[in-house]
């Protein structure tokens, strides 16, 4: 294998693949992507609900989410030469109680402050948009510019395009440690002992990023959280919106294929003892039942939909709920793109572009200073 590259990206998820793609667009030729597992997109990239949302985003992340929707998603299928199933038909965040509606209003206000318009609509208006919703739905916030895409295909679409563009990919390439050379992060040591050297080293490895940067004395306060999802068999076309609730008990959408993909959990998942954050097999016995109850409670019409599979993934939950982007001051040569808290898919194209800009020395299209690594350590 190659032993050096201008840029070494650790993590073959959608973020890593997107960074590689936009780097090639910026003219960087020699890029190496290291995926620890045997499959590209093995982590959260292929395990999320496919939301491409701006609504509900933290003000620090909102500009990136909006940039993703405005500048990247609409043309992504064309650009990558594969249908990533991007659908921009809005996001409904549903509420059933007064408390829910208050929460939704607060979210709408916060979005408005960031320049994103959300409509507060009544239960009847919700059912006009989507007649399958429960009569219990009191109202919703509706963000017409939100939507969803297929995370499984989108991740691999970036990857396959990267391959065409000459990016060097290695799977089963688990990173053991980073090493500095003359004060600059340069060496990447693999589990099998292979030593690689990169002009720049990008860490985009989900929760495992923490272990990797620990080896050069950096740390991000984050925890691994097991998150679960399920998919039904294909159903007739029912609604094109991305769905979420004020109770945060489920989210998801109907895919182009017809199946429904929903993320949901029982609340007991956070007590799962995650022994290996790279092992995604773990599931909680309460999840399936609680998820079904939640979904059926909002969309009674799906009571007969057959669930064919469920799965789980590991979220990288940071202390303050948003990701870490950019160059840590104390580690020259290192670029971070991790800690996405489960929001990484929708923003991935913009994040990929911004990190590529950071690497080639351009001013990023969004201000990533609030997402800097140092924020955890500033008084």
Binding residues for another protein, rule: CB under 8 A, are: 1, 38-42, 46, 152-153, 155-156, 159-160, 163-164, 168-173, 190, 192, 194, 231-233, 247-250, 257, 264-268, 280-286, 288-297, 302-311
* C-beta closer to another protein: residue 59 or 289: 289
* C-beta closer to another protein: residue 12 or 346: 12
**Residue 131 C-beta: closest distance to another protein, Å:** 18
Bridge partners of 184, per DSSP, are 181, 332
Place of tokens 């989210």: 251
Q: Is the dihedral of CA 339, 340, 342, 348 positive or negative?
A: negative
CB 3 within 8 A of CB 196: yes
**Residue 197 C-beta: closest distance to another protein, Å:** 17
**Residue 117 C-beta: closest distance to another protein, Å:** 29
* C-beta closer to another protein: residue 275 or 329: 275
**Residue 318 C-beta: closest distance to another protein, Å:** 20
**Residue 225 C-beta: closest distance to another protein, Å:** 13
* C-beta closer to another protein: residue 192 or 378: 192
N- to C-terminal Cα distance for the chain?
45
* C-beta closer to another protein: residue 182 or 275: 275
Looking only at Cα atoms, what is the longest distance across the chain? Answer: 65
* C-beta closer to another protein: residue 110 or 310: 310
Pairing of strands 195-203, 4-10: parallel
* C-beta closer to another protein: residue 257 or 319: 257
* C-beta closer to another protein: residue 35 or 67: 35
**Residue 370 C-beta: closest distance to another protein, Å:** 29
Nearest to 34, CA basis, from 191, 207, 219? 191
Give whole-number Cα distances, 161 to 22, 62, 273, in Å. Answer: 11, 27, 37
CB 220 within 8 A of CB 338: yes
| 222-228-229 Cα angle (round to 5) | 135
Helix (H/G/I), strand (E/B), else coil: 197: strand
Nearest to 252, CA basis, from 96, 154, 155, 147? 147
Distance between CA atoms of 278 and 35, rounded to whole angstroms? 11
Helix (H/G/I), strand (E/B), else coil: 37: coil
**Residue 359 C-beta: closest distance to another protein, Å:** 22
Distance between CA atoms of 9 and 204, rounded to whole angstroms? 7
**Residue 168 C-beta: closest distance to another protein, Å:** 6
């Amino acid at each position: 294998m190659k032993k050096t590259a201008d840029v070494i990206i650790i993590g073959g998820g959608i973020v890593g693949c997107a960074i590689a793609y936009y780097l090639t667009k910026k003219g960087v030729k020699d890029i190496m992507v290291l995926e620890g597992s045997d499959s590209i997109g093995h982590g959260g990239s292929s395990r999320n609900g496919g939301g491409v949302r701006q609504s509900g985003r933290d003000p620090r992340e909102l500009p990136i989410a909006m940039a993703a929707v405005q500048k990247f998603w609409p043309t992504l299928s064309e650009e990558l030469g594969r249908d990533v199933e991007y659908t921009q038909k809005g996001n409904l965040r549903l509420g059933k109680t007064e408390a829910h509606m208050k929460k939704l209003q607060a979210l709408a206000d916060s979005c408005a402050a960031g320049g994103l318009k959300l409509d507060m609509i009544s239960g009847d208006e919700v059912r006009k948009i989507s007649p399958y919703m429960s009569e219990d739905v009191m109202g919703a916030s509706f963000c017409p510019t939100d939507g969803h895409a297929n995370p499984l295909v989108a991740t691999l679409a970036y990857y396959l395009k990267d391959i065409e563009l000459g990016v060097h990919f290695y799977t089963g390439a688990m990173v053991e440690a980073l090493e500095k050379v003359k004060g600059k992060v340069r060496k990447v040591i693999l589990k099998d002992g292979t030593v690689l050297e990169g002009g720049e080293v990008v860490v985009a490895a989900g929760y495992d990023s923490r272990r990797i940067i620990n080896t050069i004395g950096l740390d991000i306060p984050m925890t691994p959280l097991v998150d679960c999802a399920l998919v039904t068999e294909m159903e007739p076309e029912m609604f094109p919106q991305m769905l979420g609730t004020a109770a945060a008990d489920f989210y998801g959408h109907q895919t182009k294929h017809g199946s429904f993909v929903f993320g949901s959990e029982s609340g007991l998942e956070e007590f799962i003892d995650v022994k290996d954050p790279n092992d995604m097999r773990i599931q909680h016995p309460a999840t399936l039942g609680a998820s079904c109850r939640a979904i059926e409670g909002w969309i009674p019409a799906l009571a007969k939909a057959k669930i064919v599979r469920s799965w789980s993934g590991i979220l990288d939950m940071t202390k303050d709920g948003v990701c870490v982007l950019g160059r840590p001051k104390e580690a020259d040569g290192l670029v971070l793109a991790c800690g996405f808290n489960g929001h990484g898919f929708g923003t991935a194209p913009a994040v990929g572009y911004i990190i590529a800009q950071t690497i080639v020395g351009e001013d990023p299209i969004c201000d990533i200073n609030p997402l800097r690594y140092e924020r955890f350590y500033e008084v």
